[in-house]
Structure 1
Amino acid sequence: MLKEKNLKLMKLAALTLLFTMVQGCGENGDKSEKKEDPIAALSPDEKEESHSHDNITHSNPSKRIVKPEEARQLWIFPESADKLGSGGLLQIYMDPESHPDASSGFSKYELGVGGALPEHKHNKTEEIAYFLSGTGIVISYENDERKETVVKEGYVWYTAPGEWHSFQNTGNEPLKLVFATVPNAKHGLLDFFKKVGVAPGKEPSNAMSAEEFAKLASDNDLILKPAEID
């Protein structure tokens, strides 16, 4: 009789344990099903914002890495079709065409021996340049007073919108620099260079008058400094 009673108690304990285990598994399943998706928990506006942020990375067609051979090369004011002379070699790595979502353009420029750019300013564009090699002078103005500063490898040059500036190569080798233009906007400095530049080996055009050249420059945020008349 005692053995039969003990057997019944053991069966009851086993059933109780089994029921507890089954109930626990059910609760865990519910918890995993009820685990909130971070996106699902957001408000409609937050969902839209999160989705748009994800797309910034995945839908942007701009290149993250640009190889030297992929840069657009232009001769700026070359001496002839086969000789750069005192003109400049421009390599455009980032501009509004190639990187429409970028905040700045980025290029490399090599100014030939004896070369110089006319004094000018940009009403909307700021420039940041880093000199790679060569020697030259940067022309700027402080309190309307013209100032010349010697520059060489390692020097950084910043130009704010509205400041008259220029630079010249005073050495016996090309003056090389890389520079960023901010903002990376259409009808800006790089667009001007693309309009006046030619592909290496192509005959430069001298068809524009001084007035037409000045207007083209102004239309692309490059305003030439009026010549002073004595």
Structure 2
Amino acid sequence: MLKNKKNPKLIKLAAMIMIFTVVQSCGENANKPQKKEDSVAVLSLKEEAHIHDNSTHTHTGKRIITPNDAQQLWIFPERKDKLGSGGLLQIYMDPESHPDASSGFSKYELGVGGALPEHKHNKTEEIAYFLSGTGVVISYENDERKETIVKEGYVWYTAPGEWHSFQNTGKEPLKLVFATVPNAKHGLLDFFKKVGVKPETEPSNTLSAAEFAKLAADNDLILKPSKIE
């Protein structure tokens, strides 16, 4: 009789083990989606961090550029030791120093009595801000030549294909900073680098008028033809 009788304690213990096993199994199943979501979230954060890290290092070139970093050139100086009515160009950003930048950036000081020949750019936009001095900007509206006085605080925008120039009409250098868009090779800044010289260096006058015009055109600076009366 005792051998055939079931032990209540054993039955109770077995039931408790079964209940614990079922509960644990349910808990693991419930946690699996959460773990999967957590893994996806962690992966997403890692990918996002990687993307941001790459964007920080996409563009090359210095972020902070000092005057000592700028390339200084004399443009059409009067002689080796005198700039005269020529221009002092300081190039801060160009295709060489910042190849991935969208625009170039420079500072220009045009000497007293100085002027640039009338010209246009087929591909380049220019945005200039005048820092000091007084001058005249030459532009064209409906093929009519127009002269506008400019001074400190004035902004000058030139679209591709527009004939333009400027002159220093004051008694001090006419200073401006300007951006060139796009920041492309064989552009305006490359032209200045080819015709300019380092300060207090003997200017070069070896180019003929035809060679000078070709060099200018090859760097997106097209000189306006003189009218023959």
Q: TM-score range by the shorter chain?
A: 0.7 to 0.9
2:202 paired with 1:199? no
Amino acid at match of 1:31: Q
Shift of 1:157: 0.3
Cα gap change, 1:205/1:58 in structure 2, threshold over 3 Å: closer, same or farther? same
| Change beyond 3 A, Cα 1:156–1:39 | farther
1:66 and 1:124 mapped to 2: Cα distance? 26
Structure 1 gap ranges (5+): 1-8, 42-46
Q: Identity of paired residues, percent?
A: 74
Q: What's 2:40 paired with?
A: 36
- SS of residue in 2 equivalent to 1:36: helix
For the pair shown, which has the larger CA radius of gyration, 1 or 2?
A: 2
Is the partner of 2:189 in helix, strand or coil?
helix
Q: Within the alignment, does 1:169 sit opposite 2:172 as a pair?
A: no
Q: Which residue of 1 aligns with 2:5?
A: none
Judged with a 3 Å threshold, the aligned counterparts in structure 2 of structure 1 residues 169 and 38 are, in CA distance, closer, same or farther, namely: farther
Instruction: Give the superposed CA RMSD.
Output: 3.0
SS in 1 for 2:68: helix
Query: What SS does structure 2 have at the residue aligned with 1:80?
Result: coil
Superposition deviation, residue 99 in structure 1 = 0.8
Q: Within 5 A, what are the aligned runs for 1:13-162?
A: 31-32=34-35, 34=37, 35-37=39-41, 54-162=53-161
Aligned to 2:72, what secondary structure does the other structure show?
strand
Distance change in 2, residues 1:81/1:28 (3 Å): farther
Q: Which SS does the other structure have where 1:146 is aligned?
A: strand
Distance 1:37 1:181, change over 3 A: same
Q: What residue number does 1:5 align with?
A: none
Query: Secondary structure of the equivalent of 1:114?
Result: coil
Letter in 2 for 1:151: V
1:44 maps to which residue? none
CA gap of 1:213–1:79, structure 2 versus 1, over 3 A, is: same
Tell me the alpha carbon deviations over residues 115-152 of structure 1, each in whole angstroms, 9 at most, x when there is no partner.
Answer: 00000000000100000000000000000000000000
TM-score (norm 1): 0.82
Deviation, structure 1 residue 20: 7.3
| Structure 1 moving runs of 4+ over 3 Å | 19-34, 37-41, 49-54
**Partner SS state of residue 124, structure 1:** coil
TM-score, reference length from structure 2: 0.82
State the shift of 1:56 in Å: 3.5
